[in-house]
Structure 1
Amino acid sequence: MDEEALTKDLISRISNDFEILREVDGFHQFYEQSVRIDLVLKAKPHLIEQGFTNEWFGIECKWVTGVLKQTSKTTRLVWQSITYAQSLFNINGSWEKLRFVAVYTPPHLESSIEANLTRLLELGHYGCVGRFHFYKHYQGWCIRFVKVYASTNGELYISQPQLPKIRAGSV
């Protein structure tokens, strides 16, 4: 599998729950640099009615396998996602800030790579970056920051307090 296949597989598994836009162009105002995120999503009404945010959010997909050069790859993935969370994106002709960005990687990363990504996402949380993953055997999806924000493992679960706060400066 590669990054394109990983992204297509993700889309096929979540399209019942989310509106999905691919390869969305954006702009980082501070760095005055164009960016492009893999996916921009918005919850469908059945999730919003249960308390899921009604705002657009992003997912950045990365194919990660083995150990060689993967620590650097996951570090860059988290930084990339932090800058995306700070950017504006052209969504249906309107420039909008995403509510958060989640990273998506294949399951079962090497233990050292998984540990590195987990540590990086502890910092990423302060930049509104979390992780999107599936439960074992793809029995539901989960969006996690420090703790689970939303999941469909059996039934829909949403914890509003886990949605990260917008932060700048001292936290």
Structure 2
Amino acid sequence: MAERSLKDRILNNLSEDFEVLEEVLGYHPIYESRLRIDILLRAKPHLVAEGFTGEWFGVECKWVEGAAGQTSKISRLVWQSITYAQSTFEVLGESVRPRFVAVFTPDRLEQSIDRHLATLLGVGLYGCVGRLYFYRDGSWGIKFANIYGRSSPEGYYVKANQLPKIRAGSV
């Protein structure tokens, strides 16, 4: 499988709850670099009413398979996502900084790679980077240190205090 399958899963499973933009061009002000994020999402009104942020946020997809060479790939994914959270993207004629960026990988990572990703996301939290995942029933979840938001057959769960604070310098 490939990264395209990850993007398709997001498009198919999140478009009911989020506005979805693919391959959005942006700019990193510190490194003065042009870049492109896989997906930008913004909660639709019914989800904002449940407490989910109404700001745009990013999702960066990475196909990861096995263990060989994947530690480096996961490290680069988290760094890439941190820099995306610091960047601005062109959305409908406006320059938008994502509120956070969530990484999205295949469901079943090799155990050592999954542990490595969890460790890196402990630091990523301070750069407003979390993880997007899907449950077996197709419901979605976004997690930082704890679950920020999720869907379920019964509705939505949003814990606004789990959305990371914007931080710079001493935290």
TM-score (norm 1): 0.97
The residue number in structure 2 matching 1:165 is: 165
The residue number in structure 1 matching 2:44 is: 44
Structure 2 counterpart of 1:139, one-letter code: G
After superposition, give the CA deviation of every residue in 1:27-85 in whole Å (9 maximum; x if it has no partner): 00000000100000100111011111010000000001100110000000000000000
Structure 1 counterpart of 2:143, one-letter code: R
Asked if 1 retains the 8 angstrom alpha-carbon contact of 2:127 and 2:167, the reply is yes
Structure 2 counterpart of 1:148, one-letter code: I
Q: For the residues of structure 2 that align with 1:138 and 1:64, how far apart are their CA atoms? A: 22
Q: CA offset at residue 20 of structure 1? A: 0.2
The residue number in structure 2 matching 1:146 is: 145
After superposition, give the CA deviation of every residue in 1:7-38 in whole Å (9 maximum; x if it has no partner): 11221011100000000000000000001000
Asked if 1 retains the 8 angstrom alpha-carbon contact of 2:13 and 2:138, the reply is no
Structure 1 counterpart of 2:17, one-letter code: D
Any residues of structure 2 matched to 1:1-171 within 5 Å, and which? 1-135=1-135, 137-154=136-153, 155-171=155-171
Asked if 1 retains the 8 angstrom alpha-carbon contact of 2:89 and 2:97, the reply is yes
SS state of the match for residue 148, structure 2?
strand
Q: For the residues of structure 2 that align with 1:5 and 1:138, how far apart are their CA atoms? A: 18
Structure 1 counterpart of 2:75, one-letter code: T
Q: For the residues of structure 1 that align with 2:167 and 2:18, how far apart are their CA atoms? A: 26
Structure 2 counterpart of 1:133, one-letter code: Y
Q: CA offset at residue 148 of structure 1? A: 0.4
After superposition, give the CA deviation of every residue in 1:137-167 in whole Å (9 maximum; x if it has no partner): 2431000000000001343000010000000
Q: For the residues of structure 1 that align with 2:52 and 2:4, how far apart are their CA atoms? A: 27
Coordinate RMSD, CA, aligned: 0.8
SS state of the match for residue 66, structure 2?
coil
Question: Alignment length, in residue pairs?
Answer: 170
Q: For the residues of structure 1 that align with 2:2 and 2:64, how far apart are their CA atoms? A: 9
Structure 2 counterpart of 1:150, one-letter code: G
Q: For the residues of structure 1 that align with 2:137 and 2:101, how far apart are their CA atoms? A: 21
Q: For the residues of structure 2 that align with 1:153 and 1:109, how far apart are their CA atoms? A: 23
Q: Mark the runs of 5 or more structure 2 residues left unpaired by the alignment.
A: none
Q: For the residues of structure 1 that align with 2:128 and 2:9, how far apart are their CA atoms? A: 24
- Structure 1 runs (4+) deviating above 6 angstroms are none
Q: For the residues of structure 2 that align with 1:10 and 1:88, how far apart are their CA atoms? A: 22
Q: For the residues of structure 1 that align with 2:118 and 2:31, how far apart are their CA atoms? A: 27
SS state of the match for residue 42, structure 1?
strand
